[in-house]
Amino acid sequence: MQSWQPPSIPILPGRGPQLRLYDTADRQVRPVSAGEEATMYVCGITPYDATHLGHAATYLTFDLVHRLWLDSGHRVNYVQNITDVDDPLFERANRDGIDWRELADRETALFAEDMTALRILPPHAYVAATEAIGEVVELVEKMLASGAAYVVDDAEYPDVYFRADATTQFGYESGYDRETMLRLFGERGGDPDRAGKSDALDALLWRAQRSGEPSWPSPFGPGRPGWHVECAAIALDRIGTGLDIQGGGSDLIFPHHEFSAAHAECVTGERRFARHYVHAGMIGWGGHKMSKSRGNLVLVSQLRADGVEPAAIRLGLLAGHYRTDRSWSDAVLADAALRLQRWRDATTLAAGPDATDVVARVRGYLADDLDTPKALAALDGWSIDALSYGGHDSKAPQTVATAVDALLGIKL
């Protein structure tokens, strides 16, 4: 799939320090040990509805990672999928009386517009599930051959399942106990009660053809991919083993990332699919997690249509720490708009206080598990000083503006 146009990134002199991020599996902040080329797989959208601020916050989190890697001298290989084969998409298409492909294309195009407006760097490979059926089939074949997968005893619907105990390390990513796993599995797309499975936790790999659903041929019968195997297959194909980061929102910790990792590990023999599992907190609105299924959405496209500047949306989302569940509100947006104006006023002065220290601090805070609240406070400090007391450095305002653009993706 064609991804969106990249925003320009200005050159900020110097280099940022090595990035440290919280790893969900190890439950600690530790250095991201990327080589010259840093690799990242981030779970993409299921394109049945428009991009809301929760999605935006998650992609913004990984956009910062991307920018910090570039700033510390890495090349980046960033891969993202599009889940254009899934129940919610078919249900919505049926409800609205349109073809599921048309719905997916429409929402994917709107997502690209929103990402472009928010100045999110695009992935290098942007792969829809419908473009990766061959990779999925190959992976499932390997799992069937090794015994990690099995076909349920159901003549009508011979679905293929993954044995949750196919790898001994299963569970290390989330760290959840079995009771929690079973609950979340049921809540987040799993089917614990499917008859014929060896274990309630076993995850669907290939769903045998049902009437009214799209299907593709395979050696184990016509059908369509399960969800977790889609991401395992695309990541293995486009990056290979040992990715630096597997990312998404915290609602993907289990079952999605646990199973994607287990699927990959059972065929590669590696004990750990990704070196870092990185999860963004949930954005809420009106007291609940913003979700398409609940319908309590603030859409990026709606805010844009209302005349809200994308830079203010971006800055509002960056005002909280990426791992903290937090609420969007009019006050968050109003604060962001004020801050944006303050930064603009300060960076268009003829001179200001020396910028060396503030740029180093912003780089340091961001490299420390993306501490945007501290980075924003440091920039506020410099701006207030510049506006209150002036300064003698005629290059400083432009240097600060360049740092804000390169590191935070905000053009002042």
Q: Which residues bind Zn ion (CB under 5 A)?
A: 43, 231
Q: How far is the CB of 163 from ligand 5CA (least distance, A)?
A: 21
DSSP state of 155: S
- Cα of first residue to Cα of last residue in the chain, in angstroms, is 31
Q: Which of residues 29-68 bind ligand 5CA (CB under 6 A)?
A: 43-46, 54-55, 57-58
Using DSSP, how many helices (H) and how many strands (E) does the chain show? 13, 14
Binding piece for ligand 5CA, criterion CB under 6 A, among 28-36, 120-128, 244-252, 352-360: 244-252
Q: Which is nearer to ligand 5CA, 275 or 289 (CB)?
A: 289
Q: How far is the CB of 246 from Zn ion (least distance, A)?
A: 9
3-state DSSP call for residue 378?
helix
Q: Which of residues 77-106 bind ligand 5CA (CB under 6 A)?
A: 81, 83
Q: Which of residues 277-296 bind ligand 5CA (CB under 6 A)?
A: 280, 282-283, 289-291
Cα separation of 28 and 20, whole Å? 10
CB 297 within 8 A of CB 284: no
Q: Which of residues 172-231 bind ligand 5CA (CB under 6 A)?
A: 231
Q: Which is nearer to Zn ion, 238 or 339 (CB)?
A: 238
Q: How far is the CB of 132 from ligand 5CA (least distance, A)?
A: 12
- Taking CB atoms, the residue at the shortest distance from Zn ion is 43
Beta strand 283-285 pairing with 288-289 = antiparallel
List beta partners, residue 288.
285
Q: Which is nearer to Zn ion, 148 or 231 (CB)?
A: 231
Cα separation of 248 and 233, whole Å? 16
CB 304 within 8 A of CB 310: yes
Q: How far is the CB of 125 from ligand 5CA (least distance, A)?
A: 14
Cα separation of 14 and 2, whole Å? 33
Least Cα distance to 25 among 309, 279, 239 occurs for: 279
Largest Cα–Cα distance in the chain? 80
Q: How far is the CB of 336 from Zn ion (least distance, A)?
A: 29
Told to check if 24 binds ligand 5CA by CB under 6 A, we report no
Instruction: State which of residues 251, 258, 265, 405 lies at the interface with ligand 5CA (CB under 6 A).
Output: 251
Structure tokens at 336: 């962001």
Q: How far is the CB of 58 from ligand 5CA (least distance, A)?
A: 4
Residues that bind ligand 5CA (CB under 6 A): 43-46, 54-55, 57-58, 81, 83, 231, 248-249, 251-252, 280, 282-283, 289-291
